[in-house]
């Protein structure tokens, strides 16, 4: 007895995106981190034994991309998330220790809470992603990213991302994507149900952003748990977000899966393993991640076995 055998006529029938094959997703949960043929040869999952290791290693990876491009005399365009967050403290630590200036860096925050019209929280609001980035990263750097080179996903600024990134790449800039994986396998807030709006995969892959995007109910609950201390009533139901037309351009990607909850439980194991093993599918955004070069840092327990336990 399981989800597939009991979903008929239940309250969950039709709840998940119609493009989700739950049996195929379930099979992904048995595969650990073994390589798949569709992975980019330069894509590598990196196991972390603890959250402290995860934060340090992912922060080091971000700092290294900033350092390497600096040494190469090359500009860096970097797409940043708010979640995970612990790696920013370590990225700042390494850059400060190495005395690496960040004036060659232009940042693009991938999303922001917004209403259905795209209006965002004031940047002084602690719930805003702009506020979080200043506290977690920009404010901790001794030689920080110039304010004029920090981009946030406001209604006015998000539509300028494609042109700005294209101009930087034309100048030889490296584009790096930093990301987390949502419970619904989103990257940024690019949700699985968006796939229904595109006639072809090519159309979906070309979409650069959405203003006031409608979030999936499980995305709301994920953020209630991870960012709002369980208080669902504080979580906006819509957001501004970049799309695959931008994040799939990345020359290198740095990912993080740290969704453990304690007592051996976690919210991200199925999403992480589906990302690795399902194969590219527009209905499951994160399944395109293994096609990009880069490293995906993950907590060891998320690789399974994903089984029922009584704790």
Query: Residue 309 pLDDT > 80, yes or no?
Result: no
Query: Taking residues 216-225, what's their average pLDDT?
Result: 96
Q: Cα-flanking dihedrals φ and ψ of residue 286, to 5°? A: -70, -10
In the block, tokens 């989800």 appear at 3
What are the extents of the domains in the chain? 42-302
**Predicted local distance difference test score (pLDDT) of residue 125:** 95
Mean pLDDT to the nearest integer, 208-236: 96
The band of 197, judged by pLDDT with boundaries at 50, 70 and 90, is: very high
| Number of Cβ atoms within 10 Å of the Cβ of 30 | 11
Mean pLDDT to the nearest integer, 282-311: 93
Residue 262 pLDDT:
84
Residue 222 phi/psi, 5-degree rounding, is: -60, -50
User: In this structure, what are the phi and psi dihedrals at residue 128, rounded to the nearest 5 degrees?
Assistant: -75, 145
pLDDT of 310: 67
Give the span between the Cα atoms of 75 and 158, in whole angstroms.
Answer: 20
Pseudo-torsion of CA 131, 136, 139, 140, nearest 10°? 180
Q: What percent of the chain has pLDDT over 90?
A: 95
The model's pLDDT over 3-16, given as tens digits with 9 standing for 90+, comes to: 999 999 999 999 99
Measured CA to CA, the distance from residue 30 to residue 24 in angstroms comes to 11
**Res 127: pLDDT:** 93
pLDDT digits (tens, 9 = 90+) for 15-25: 999 999 999 99
Q: Give the closest residue to 66 by CA, choosing from 172, 180, 122, 145.
A: 145
pLDDT the model gives residue 311: 66
Rounded distance, CA 235 to CA 115, Å? 11
pLDDT band at 265 (very low <50, low <70, confident <90, very high): confident
Q: Which CATH class is domain 42-302?
A: alpha beta
Alpha helices in 112-233 (DSSP H): 129-136, 161-170, 201-206, 217-227
Per-residue model confidence as pLDDT tens digits over 130-148: 999 999 999 999 999 999 9
Residues comprising the chain, all counted: 311
């Amino acid at each position: 007895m399981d989800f597939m055998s009991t979903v008929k006529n239940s309250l969950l029938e039709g709840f998940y995106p119609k493009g989700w094959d739950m049996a195929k997703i379930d099979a992904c949960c048995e595969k650990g981190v073994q390589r798949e043929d569709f992975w980019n040869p330069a894509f590598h999952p990196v196991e972390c034994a603890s959250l402290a290791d995860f934060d340090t290693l992912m922060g080091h990876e971000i700092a290294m991309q900033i350092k390497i491009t600096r040494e190469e005399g090359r500009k860096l365009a970097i797409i940043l998330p708010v979640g995970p967050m612990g790696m920013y403290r370590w990225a700042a630590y390494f850059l400060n220790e190495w005395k690496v200036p960040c004036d060659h860096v232009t940042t693009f925050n991938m999303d922001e809470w917004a209403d259905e019209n795209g209006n965002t929280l004031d940047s002084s609001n602690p719930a805003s992603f702009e506020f979080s980035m200043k506290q977690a990263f920009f404010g901790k750097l001794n030689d920080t990213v110039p304010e004029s080179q920090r981009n946030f996903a406001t209604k006015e600024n998000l539509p300028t991302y494609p042109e700005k990134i294209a101009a930087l790449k034309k100048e030889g800039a490296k584009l790096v994507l930093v990301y987390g994986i949502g419970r619904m396998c989103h990257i940024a807030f690019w949700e699985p149900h968006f796939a229904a709006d595109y006639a072809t995969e090519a159309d979906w892959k070309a979409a650069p952003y959405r203003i006031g995007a409608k979030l999936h109910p499980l995305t709301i609950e994920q953020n209630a748990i991870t960012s709002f201390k369980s208080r669902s009533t504080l979580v906006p139901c819509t957001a501004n977000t970049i799309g695959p037309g931008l994040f799939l351009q990345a020359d290198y990607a740095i990912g993080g899966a740290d969704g453990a909850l304690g007592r051996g439980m976690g919210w991200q194991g199925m999403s992480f393993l589906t990302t690795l093993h399902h194969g590219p599918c527009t209905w499951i955004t994160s399944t395109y991640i293994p096609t990009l070069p880069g490293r995906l840092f993950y907590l060891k327990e998320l690789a399974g076995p994903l089984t029922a336990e009584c704790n």
